[in-house]
Amino acid sequence: KQEVTQIPAALSVPEGENLVLNCSFTDSAIYNLQWFRQDPGKGLTSLLLIQSSQREQTSGRLNASLDKSSGRSTLYIAASQPGDSATYLCAAKGSQGNLIFGKGTKLSVKP
């Protein structure tokens, strides 16, 4: 059974700092891995999708990497801004198509 873990559970950084969020998964037989952002009281916004055959994806200040063999993905945020404050979730897609989510990392970027 796939399990997804995110470390740390919470992170507070000063504005401008580069940071890395970690995600690990127990079953390497994934189809893809998706990173989401969730703002308080809101739904999920998709940030990046990495297919199982890919190593990384980039969108603006965000870069996500995937290492299936070690069961790890990282989300790198460059030059963090207060507007980046949110909960970041990673999710692994299994054989049935449903996503298995981690519990998220709550990020706070201080001005």
Partner 1 sequence: GAGVSQSPSNKVTEKGKDVELRCDPISGHTALYWYRQSLGQGLEFLIYFQGNSAPDKSGLPSDRFSAERTGGSVSTLTIQRTQQEDSAVYLCASSRDAYYEQYFGPGTRLTVT
Bond preceding residue 40 cis, omega within 30 of 0: no
Decide if 85 contacts 110 (C-beta within 8 A): no
Q: Is 101 in the site for partner 1 (CB under 8 A)?
A: yes
Q: Which of 32, 54, 63, 74 binds partner 1 (CB under 8 A)?
A: 32
* SS3 (DSSP) at 11: strand
The span from the CA of 68 to the CA of 60, in Å, is 24
DSSP H/E element including 107: strand 105-110
Sign of CA dihedral 22, 28, 32, 36: negative
Nearer to partner 1 by Cβ, of 71 and 93: the residue is: 93
Q: Contacts with partner 1 in 66-95 (CB under 8 A)? A: 89, 91, 93
**Residue span binding partner 1 (CB under 8 A) among the ranges 8-16, 29-37, 57-65, 71-79:** 29-37
Q: Please provide the distance, in angstroms rounded to a whole number, between the alpha carbons at the two ends of the chain.
A: 41
Q: Is 58 in the site for partner 1 (CB under 8 A)?
A: no
In angstroms, what is the minimal distance from the CB of 103 to partner 1?
4
The amino acid sitting at 66 is L
**Residue span binding partner 1 (CB under 8 A) among the ranges 9-17, 21-29, 45-53, 58-66:** 45-53
In angstroms, what is the minimal distance from the CB of 17 to partner 1?
26
**Residue span binding partner 1 (CB under 8 A) among the ranges 12-20, 28-36, 64-72, 76-84:** 28-36
